[in-house]
Amino acid sequence: MAEDRLNFKEMCARFEVTPRTLRHYEYIELLSPEREGRARFYGPREVARMTLILRGRRFGFSLEEIRQWLEIYDRGEGWEGQRDVWIAKADRQLEELNARRAELDEIISELKSLRDASVSI
């Protein structure tokens, strides 16, 4: 069983996060490592949760949204309940990201026009 567990330092290294980040995720109850004295150990469940947390952050979800999403599984609604909520959240996030991309495209176009006008002077 010890082979399936990571200690605190190994968990930080595996996910390339700072100790402060890992402690914060524990504090807000996204992760619940096993404790033996002062030592923390992370099993397959915590490794999977960390993967989902970091993926969610990369896609722009807040930690609170991620926490609520993870709780669906913990409440016994299973992966089907999680999947349904995930699809709704993903659709909403895709709309927001597409709107931000359109805004960035407009800003880039405007900046290029101003730069090109300055070169012509």
CATH of 1-58, one of 1.10.1660.10, 3.40.50.1370, 1.10.260.40, 3.40.50.150: 1.10.1660.10
pLDDT digits (tens, 9 = 90+) for 15-34: 999 999 999 999 999 999 99
Residue with tokens 């359109």: 102
End-to-end Cα spacing for the chain: 71
State residue 2's pLDDT score. Answer: 58
pLDDT digits (tens, 9 = 90+) for 25-65: 999 999 999 999 999 999 999 999 999 999 999 999 999 99
State residue 78's pLDDT score. Answer: 75
What pTM was estimated for this model as a whole? Answer: 0.80
